[in-house]
Structure 1
Amino acid sequence: MYTLIPPLGARPSERSVIFVGLRGVPEIQGGVETHVAAISARLAERGWRVEVLGRAPYLRSRRPYSWKGVTVTPVWAPRSRSFEALAHTALGLIVAARRNPDLVHIHAIGPALLTPLARLLGLHVVVTHHGFDYERQKWGRLAKAVLRAGEAMGMLFSHANIGVSKGIVDSVRHRFGVGATFIPNGVENPFPQQDMSCLDRLTVAPRRYVLSVGRIVEEKRHLDLIQAFERLGDPSLKLVIAGTADHAGRYQHAVEAAAAATPGVVMAGFQRGEALSQLYRHAGLFVLPSSHEGMPMVLLEALSYGAPCLASDIDANLALALGQDSYFPLGDVDALARAMRVKLAAPNPAEGAQRAARVLDSFGWGAIVDRTTEVYESALLGWRVGKARHGRAAFRSRVEFGGR
């Protein structure tokens, strides 16, 4: 599946883009990683020369390799929750400057703190805002301040911005006075019907388990879900938690302890590909109790399989307009337990099929890549026009003062 190769050399007839700010591709846990994997492979199919600079500790090889026409290059990063993204992005931008691509695409507001460095290195930059990461529970006051600064730097110094939700686009326009293009996360066409080997391995029965998918981090609120599941008091049900923590810590240990103390909870670890597809397809209920989401990719994935879904009433989830019976008040464990009981008692396959069709029609990756390439072309056009009109001195002035 993977071919080890040296970094690709430039071919003048191709557009080129380098992705920075993520752990890597493919099949690496995280919404940003899933997003970039889908877009990068489709850009390569369209003739773009695409490279993803991934964080070496997360990749399967320490040498560059090719995946679906995408060059994946490991770049050193420390295994540190606080410094990993910034250190890796700084090194990645230096690597990118040596490649001289048409564009560098930075993902997430943490890595976007280094957008001014990218500009000073002469790179043409697009930034995707995936969510207000400073609202995540895991970050302290200093980290939240750094993330707010990253948001500002990314929005003010890039050549073009993308927001994965309309709320992000509106917020950026209001607070920074800059435009951003709304391009949501997408979903793949579901895997065809498979066997149930993953269910057998986890000893769960079709339609008799509640599913949670995502990293083990505070804002996903697994403890709320475990408590609500316990209150169902149904020994025939199980709760499958698919995901793991990138960095060990108190929250991970708390979730593992709560799972061990609650009969029926299965810690499945990180699941991908066909195994994850089986879990979505046969779930009796998918639950997303998060306190923070940018654009909830796992919820979109669950909907695309027709799974019954229940989500917290935060803005990012409400934007999908699933109906009042598909939401519960954030943090209200009793309300979550009641809603789970109602959903599990009255499955509605017809509603699930209708939602799946709507999600696949509205969030297909083909249209998303079309819109992304339009942003790329506008960023390149804006760069060329600005440079022709104002010259190098004016460009330096824009970098110093945050102009576009």
Structure 2
Amino acid sequence: MAHVAIIGTRGYPSYYGGFETAVRFLGEFLVEKDWDVTIYGRPESGEGNHKADPRIEVKFTRGWDKKATSTLSYGMTASIDAVRLKPDVALVMNVANGYWLPLLKARGIPTLVNVDGVEWERAKWNRAARAVFRVGGRLTARFADEIVVDAEAIGDRWQEWYGRPGVYIPYGSLEVPKRPAPFGLPQGSYVLFVARFVPENSVDEFFEASRKIARDVPVVIVGSSGYGGELDQAAAALTSEFDSVRWLGHVRDDNLLHDLWSNCGVYFHGHTVGGTNPALVQAMRCGAPVLARDTVFNREVLAETGHFVDSDPGVIADALRDLLAAPAEARCLGEAAALRAREKFDWPSICGDYKRALENLLE
């Protein structure tokens, strides 16, 4: 029985972001295939409506819960514990943990590293943090036994920068039952926004666009910064200014998110960096009509099943209105997106790809 340690997420079952979503599905998939699974995490994980699988070992290590230090510090302490534990293979998430790969290599633990997006291009980081991620990327390229890229465009960049081809494994989605919209919202009547509150997710631009449409259109906002700050304050101000704007904060209930995606008139996906986004592929699987920021990553995922827009809030507002005013077109977009997600972004298939990549390292 093979033993895998998963390092670099908030834990299991956590609902914070893409890595945590992937680990929830992958950990349970692997234990069903008779693997021993240890997932390193932080004490605040384990919230939400998902019941934890008791066969998965969850280990908490210490770290510093600050925006600039959390990933590095928790990654370090988890890697040190994994050196003691000595699993057969380690799945490491995020290039910031490239600093600790030499420890795992010295212990003879093969590593599969999901490099995520291009962290040093994210606007939320200052110059020092971007430098840290750049060095982490170089160390990952040097010491990882194999890397995973969640988008082909990310793979192209790693090949160009470091000469490292990556295994392409995107994020997945699940089929969900169709149920009524929550909060009494009429089906197809509202604009939905789901994102972590960071600048590169077009949060400011969407808030400004919302001010232009909120007198006529219900707007539902899901997300937060996780640390408080100006964007959270801006969301609160919107709800105070417009009765039609509902801000739910960070949602840990998958069923609520699925119901919101399944019944929205249009879902605005504002992410501009990173690769395949897990929220986007699940929104597609739910049949949400998608208006996305025009990036190489969003076009790779959506292909012809979405509409694309630039960063201008006025243009975003007009595009949202136009799609809401064309329900037949929106319905066709949603159906096409659901079919694409079913064929290309399906969690059982994605987890199988991870399992094969880990097995290749064991061999």
Structure 1: 5+ residue runs without aligned partners? 1-13, 382-404
In the alignment, which of 240, 244, 263 is matched to residue 260 of structure 1?
240
* Counterparts of 2:70 and 2:193, CA distance in 1: 26
Partner of 1:239: 219
Using the TM superposition, give the Cα deviation of residue 262 of structure 1 relative to its aligned residue in structure 2, in angstroms: 4.0
Would you say 1:15 and 2:2 are equivalent positions?
yes
* Counterparts of 1:289 and 1:108, CA distance in 2: 21
* Counterparts of 1:212 and 1:290, CA distance in 2: 11
Q: How has the CA–CA distance of structure 1 residues 85 and 47 changed in structure 2, closer, same or farther, with 3 Å as cutoff? A: same
Would you say 1:128 and 2:121 are equivalent positions?
no
Q: How has the CA–CA distance of structure 1 residues 293 and 204 changed in structure 2, closer, same or farther, with 3 Å as cutoff? A: farther
Instruction: State the Cα deviation string for residues 317-344 of structure 1 (Å, max 9, x = none).
Output: 1112443960001x21111111111111
Using the TM superposition, give the Cα deviation of residue 295 of structure 1 relative to its aligned residue in structure 2, in angstroms: 1.3
Using the TM superposition, give the Cα deviation of residue 104 of structure 1 relative to its aligned residue in structure 2, in angstroms: 0.9
CA contact 1:114–1:150 (8 Å) conserved in 2: no
Q: How has the CA–CA distance of structure 1 residues 223 and 334 changed in structure 2, closer, same or farther, with 3 Å as cutoff? A: same
Partner of 2:150: 164
Using the TM superposition, give the Cα deviation of residue 118 of structure 1 relative to its aligned residue in structure 2, in angstroms: 2.1
Using the TM superposition, give the Cα deviation of residue 159 of structure 1 relative to its aligned residue in structure 2, in angstroms: 1.0
Partner of 1:207: 188
Give 1 or 2 for the bigger CA radius of gyration. 1
* Counterparts of 1:149 and 1:313, CA distance in 2: 29
SS of corresponding position for 1:174: helix
Would you say 1:30 and 2:11 are equivalent positions?
no
CA contact 1:56–1:77 (8 Å) conserved in 2: no
CA contact 2:289–2:334 (8 Å) conserved in 1: yes
Amino acid at match of 1:93: S
* Counterparts of 1:258 and 1:152, CA distance in 2: 42
* Counterparts of 1:302 and 1:213, CA distance in 2: 10
Partner of 1:285: 266
RMSD after superposition: 2.1
* Counterparts of 2:104 and 2:231, CA distance in 1: 35
Instruction: State the Cα deviation string for residues 345-394 of structure 1 (Å, max 9, x = none).
Output: 1123233223212211111122222221221122223xxxxxxxxxxxxx
Partner of 1:194: 179
Partner of 1:338: 318
* Counterparts of 2:191 and 2:101, CA distance in 1: 41
In the alignment, which of 52, 57, 64 is matched to residue 39 of structure 2?
52
* Counterparts of 1:354 and 1:318, CA distance in 2: 14
* Counterparts of 1:292 and 1:263, CA distance in 2: 32
Instruction: State the Cα deviation string for residues 112-166 of structure 1 (Å, max 9, x = none).
Output: 3322222233322110111001111110001001011111111220111111011
* Counterparts of 1:182 and 1:378, CA distance in 2: 14
Partner of 1:249: 229
CA contact 1:85–1:111 (8 Å) conserved in 2: yes
Amino acid at match of 1:368: I
CA contact 1:89–1:114 (8 Å) conserved in 2: yes
CA contact 1:222–1:255 (8 Å) conserved in 2: no
Would you say 1:111 and 2:97 are equivalent positions?
yes
SS of corresponding position for 1:269: coil
Q: Which has the higher mean CA deviation after the structures are superposed, 339-348 or 113-122?
A: 113-122
Instruction: State the Cα deviation string for residues 286-337 of structure 1 (Å, max 9, x = none).
Output: 00122323212111111101111100011111112443960001x2111111
Partner of 2:84: 98
SS of corresponding position for 2:186: coil
In the alignment, which of 357, 360, 374 is matched to residue 339 of structure 2?
357
Would you say 1:319 and 2:316 are equivalent positions?
no
* Counterparts of 2:219 and 2:99, CA distance in 1: 39
In the alignment, which of 372, 379, 385 is matched to residue 361 of structure 2?
379
Partner of 1:396: none
Q: Which has the higher mean CA deviation after the structures are superposed, 348-357 or 216-225?
A: 348-357
* Counterparts of 1:300 and 1:377, CA distance in 2: 26
* Counterparts of 1:166 and 1:325, CA distance in 2: 19
Amino acid at match of 1:101: P
Amino acid at match of 1:358: R
SS of corresponding position for 1:36: helix
Would you say 1:307 and 2:288 are equivalent positions?
yes
Amino acid at match of 1:377: E
Partner of 1:141: 127
* Counterparts of 2:236 and 2:164, CA distance in 1: 43
Q: How has the CA–CA distance of structure 1 residues 181 and 325 changed in structure 2, closer, same or farther, with 3 Å as cutoff? A: closer
* Counterparts of 2:298 and 2:55, CA distance in 1: 34
Partner of 1:384: none
* Counterparts of 2:288 and 2:52, CA distance in 1: 34
CA contact 2:5–2:90 (8 Å) conserved in 1: yes
CA contact 1:24–1:59 (8 Å) conserved in 2: yes
